[in-house]
Amino acid sequence: MRQTKDADFPWWLVILGVTGLWMGYEVWASAIYSQVMGTLVKGIQVTVAVTLVAYGLASALGLGLAVAGLSRSVVLRQAARVWIEVIRGVPMMVLLLYVAFVISPAMVFAWNWVASWLGATPITSRDFPLIARAVLALTLAYSAFLAEIFRAGLQAVDKGQIEAAMSLGLTGWQRFRHIVFPQAFRMILPPLGNDFVAMVKDSSLVSILGVADITQLGKVQAAGNFRYFETYNMVALLYLVMTIGLSLGLRRIEARLKMHTK
């Protein structure tokens, strides 16, 4: 029994904690690490903002796609399936470039065409900032994956409870809000959390558009001082702190939800 407890002790967290403390000391004691960290800190706000906005929009769109995929309408079901399969079949980086340099200019052109009829002010591609294009790309990409998670959760709810709610006279929206979604959310919280952590990491791809996130500032810093070892050590450390911190926080939330459901 003792051997099992020792095996379950999070030694990996201790190792990472000691490594983090050592890196923190290096930042405090080393002028090079301090300079690198001073530059990278400016990109944390961009990384966090891109992740939060994109994930929020992707969750809303993914939930809509999941509901459409379970709809009685054949058109809605097929449209949702086409969206999900196409988006999931395109690599993240390709989709990012496609949205940034194909879809976004097309949206600008469409707006200007409508503006010419309405007498509104036309815009140019420069009026569509790269950070907005990056958020749009991440939103579209993750909406397909989140839609499958939401669909699985909605289908996992006991149909007997839905029938009982119908017998009580609850409307479709009331059944979804009070019966279906709360139970589905508890079941799908772990995969939703995993995708949120994954988006934190995938947000680094926006650096290919020149968005000043952690990765982009790290590339610029390394190109200027040629201190690749120190720079990318700090880039990796910042992402590790964010992802591991989120993972531990999500585990605590899952544990509390399990305690409340018992």
In this prediction, residues 217-228 reach a mean pLDDT of 89
Judged by DSSP in three states, 120 sits in: coil
Quick one: average pLDDT of 3-19?
Answer: 68
Lowest model confidence (mean pLDDT) among 169-178, 208-217, 245-254: 169-178
First vs last C-alpha separation in the chain = 26
Read off the pTM. 0.86
| Domains within the chain, CATH numbers bracketed | 30-261 (1.10.3720.10)
How would residue 262 be classed by pLDDT, with cut points 50, 70 and 90? low
On the question of pLDDT at 66 being above 90, the answer is yes
Q: Please tell me the predicted confidence (pLDDT) of residue 119.
A: 77
Amino acid at 208: I
Dihedral, CA of residue 47, residue 188, residue 8 and residue 233, to nearest 10? -10
Choice among 6-10, 39-43, 222-226, 247-251 with the minimum mean pLDDT: 6-10
Q: Give me the sign of the Cα torsion angle 164, 166, 169, 173.
A: positive
Sorting pLDDT into bands at 50, 70 and 90, what band is 261?
low
Res. 2: pLDDT tops 60:
no
Least confident interval from 17-21, 26-30, 68-72, 230-234 = 26-30
State the DSSP string of 178-221: IIIHHHHHHHHHHHHHHHHHHHHHHGGGGGGGT--SHHHHHHHH
Q: Rounded mean pLDDT of 28-41? A: 82
Share of the chain above pLDDT 70, in %: 95
> Each residue of 104-152: pLDDT tens digit?
999 988 888 888 888 778 888 788 899 999 999 999 999 999 999 999 9
Q: What is the distance between the alpha carbons of residues 30 and 174, in angstroms, rounded to a whole number?
A: 59
Cβ 54 vs Cβ 199: under 8 Å: yes
pLDDT in tens, 172-206: 778 888 888 888 888 888 899 999 999 999 999 99
Instruction: Answer left, alpha or beta for residue 169, where phi above 0 means left and psi between -120 and 50 means alpha.
Output: left
pLDDT at 68: 93
3-state secondary structure of 86: helix
